[in-house]
């Protein structure tokens, strides 16, 4: 059987096409005929992957299917987490679409799908490729220190004022990496005083989505979801589970990295920096050795970790089998349920909790 005809590869194309079609539908007022042409193309991709009579037969049928659980479009039923995801909520793209694109986006040119310039990078490229595109120039520069500083700067500063960012980068020993642009309409809110405001996610600092009466970070594991109080001249966020939301900030002139860089670099990077900080209580820790050959080197004990924070366990295992594991897999505690299946699939993996225990033990033995 041709490798491109296996069920996992065809299903990857189906999910990638569904994400692109959902994005196109959600932006059809802005992109008009290009968006509708893209939906037609993606319908063809899905029909080709399924075979005759086993998928939506027209663009509007596909759009209707995108508002239902994704399992209705999938070729298999063994990835229940992905199967429960809906890509459209009415005419709006759901937050889960970014997660799927980070793990499933793939080139679709072989089916005649095309890659229009109006499509954002995150709908066309998987997370690892977006990261490589962002840091390609830094890798070619040949300085590990500049690479680490620049990567960390993006993670810690996904949003800012253009006139201040150059000085901030210089102070951090970092270089420009990744494109920035003005805040999107869904990242801003006009207060009763007539001014525009935005709110950073308390975890990743990226502009949260404003969807009255709610303001939330699109990455659900950051658990940043607040009510919006518009009664005052300056809008404010309502407490969520006892946590006070960030104060409203002026949106005037503010820029942020695009959605692909946020989901592919910032979101996983926040976890990597948090884990490094936790492990540094017991050892020196190097970030992204060898220009991201793997993610963390814990010097005491000589532990090498590749951090994985993936929504689809099935897709993670498939990619690991294709590319090989670069180091011991380290999963944050939010994903510890994936450890046993990874081990059963033949990969060395441990949880954040166990990595901390190993570091503490190694530090004690080193004394």
Examine residue 159 and state whether it is found in any structural domain, yes or no: no
Structure tokens at 360: 């503490």
Residues 239 and 284 in one domain: no
Q: Which of these three, 125, 151, 171, is where a domain ends?
A: 125
Query: Checking phi first, is residue 90 left (phi over 0); if not, alpha (psi -120 to 50) or beta?
Result: left
Number of residues that this document lists for the chain: 367
Q: Which pLDDT score is estimated for 202?
A: 95
Strand partners, 237: 228
Structure tokens at 276: 């490094």
Distance CA(128)–CA(107), nearest Å, equals 13
Residues 9 and 111 in one domain: yes
Q: Do β-strands 255-257 and 180-182 pair in parallel, antiparallel, or remain unpaired?
A: antiparallel
Residues 241 and 298 in one domain: no
- Tally of CB atoms within 10 A around 81: 11
| CA triple 212-215-220, angle to 5 deg | 130
Cβ-based neighbours of 169, under 8 Å, separated by 6 or more: 150, 153, 175, 176
Given a contact cutoff of 8 angstroms between Cβ atoms, the answer to whether 328 and 308 are in contact is: no
Q: Which of these three, 76, 91, 125, is where a domain ends?
A: 125
Examine residue 175 and state whether it is found in any structural domain, yes or no: no
Examine residue 107 and state whether it is found in any structural domain, yes or no: yes
Q: Which of these three, 125, 154, 171, is where a domain ends?
A: 125
| CA triple 55-61-62, angle to 5 deg | 70
Residues 86 and 42 in one domain: yes
Examine residue 74 and state whether it is found in any structural domain, yes or no: yes
Residues 120 and 7 in one domain: yes
- Per-residue exposure over 171-202, b if at least 16 CB sit within 10 Å of its own CB, e if not: eeebbebbebeebeeebbbeeeeebbbbbbbb
Q: Which pLDDT score is estimated for 200?
A: 97
Q: Which pLDDT score is estimated for 90?
A: 93
Q: Which pLDDT score is estimated for 288?
A: 97
Examine residue 256 and state whether it is found in any structural domain, yes or no: no
Examine residue 56 and state whether it is found in any structural domain, yes or no: yes
Residues 75 and 20 in one domain: yes
Examine residue 232 and state whether it is found in any structural domain, yes or no: yes
Residues 231 and 290 in one domain: no
Which residue pairs, CB below 8 angstroms and at least 24 apart, start in 240-247?
A: 243/202, 245/199, 245/202, 245/215, 246/199, 246/200, 246/202, 247/199
Domain count along the chain: 3
Residues 234 and 320 in one domain: no
């994005």: which residue's tokens?
23
The dihedrals phi and psi of 24, each to the nearest 5 degrees, come to -60, -45
Q: Which pLDDT score is estimated for 116?
A: 63
Q: Which pLDDT score is estimated for 1?
A: 44
Strand partners, 361: none
Distance CA(200)–CA(206), nearest Å, equals 5
Residues 206 and 285 in one domain: no
Domain that holds residue 64: 3-125
Strand partners, 226: 215
Residue ranges for the chain with pLDDT beneath 50: 1, 111-113
Residues 347 and 289 in one domain: yes
Distance CA(275)–CA(103), nearest Å, equals 22
Q: Torsion angle, CA of 39/216/332/88, rounded to 10 degrees?
A: -20
Runs of H (alpha helix) within the chain? 7-26, 28-50, 59-66, 80-83, 96-104, 121-124, 127-141, 144-156, 165-172, 259-261, 267-279, 289-292, 313-323, 339-344, 352-366
Distance CA(257)–CA(153), nearest Å, equals 12
Q: Do β-strands 303-307 and 285-287 pair in parallel, antiparallel, or remain unpaired?
A: unpaired
Residues 350 and 296 in one domain: yes
Q: Which pLDDT score is estimated for 155?
A: 97
Q: Which pLDDT score is estimated for 119?
A: 87
Examine residue 275 and state whether it is found in any structural domain, yes or no: no
Longest CA–CA span in the chain (Å) reads 68
322 class by beta-carbon count within 10 Å (0-12 exposed, 13-18 middle, 19+ buried): exposed
Residues 12 and 68 in one domain: yes
């Amino acid at each position: 059987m041709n490798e491109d005809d296996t069920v996992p590869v065809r299903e990857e194309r189906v999910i990638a096409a569904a994400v692109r079609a959902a994005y196109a539908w959600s932006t059809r007022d802005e992109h008009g005929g290009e968006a509708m042409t893209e939906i037609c193309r993606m319908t063809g991709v899905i029909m080709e992957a399924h075979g005759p009579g086993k998928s939506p037969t027209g663009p509007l049928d596909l759009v209707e299917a995108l508002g239902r659980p994704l399992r209705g479009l999938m070729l298999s039923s063994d990835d229940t987490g992905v199967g429960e995801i809906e890509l459209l909520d009415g005419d709006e793209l759901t937050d889960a679409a970014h997660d799927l694109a980070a793990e499933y986006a793939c080139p679709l040119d072989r089916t005649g799908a095309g890659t229009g310039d109006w499509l954002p990078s995150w709908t066309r490229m998987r997370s690892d490729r977006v990261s490589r595109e962002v840091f390609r120039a830094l890798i070619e520069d040949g300085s590990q220190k500049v690479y680490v500083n620049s990567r960390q700067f993006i993670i810690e500063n996904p949003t800012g004022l253009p006139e201040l960012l150059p000085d901030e980068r210089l102070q951090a020993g970092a270089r420009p990496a990744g494109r920035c642009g003005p805040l999107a309409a869904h990242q801003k809110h006009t207060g009763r005083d007539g001014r525009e405001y935005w709110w950073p996610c308390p975890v990743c600092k990226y502009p949260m989505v404003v969807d009255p009466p709610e303001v939330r970070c699109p990455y659900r594991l950051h658990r940043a979801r607040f009510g919006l109080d518009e009664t005052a001249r300056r809008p404010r966020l309502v407490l969520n589970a006892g946590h006070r939301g960030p104060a409203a900030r002026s949106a005037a002139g503010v820029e942020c990295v695009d959605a692909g860089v946020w989901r592919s670099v910032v979101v996983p990077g926040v976890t990597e920096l948090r884990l490094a900080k936790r492990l540094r209580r017991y050892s020196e820790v190097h970030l992204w050795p060898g220009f991201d050959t793997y993610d963390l080197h814990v010097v005491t004990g000589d532990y090498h970790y590749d951090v994985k924070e993936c929504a689809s366990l099935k897709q993670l295992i498939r990619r690991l089998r294709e590319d090989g594991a670069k180091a011991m897999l380290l999963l944050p505690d939010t994903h510890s349920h994936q450890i046993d299946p990874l081990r059963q699939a033949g990969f060395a993996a441990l949880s954040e909790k166990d990595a901390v225990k190993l570091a503490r033990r190694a530090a004690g033995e080193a004394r």
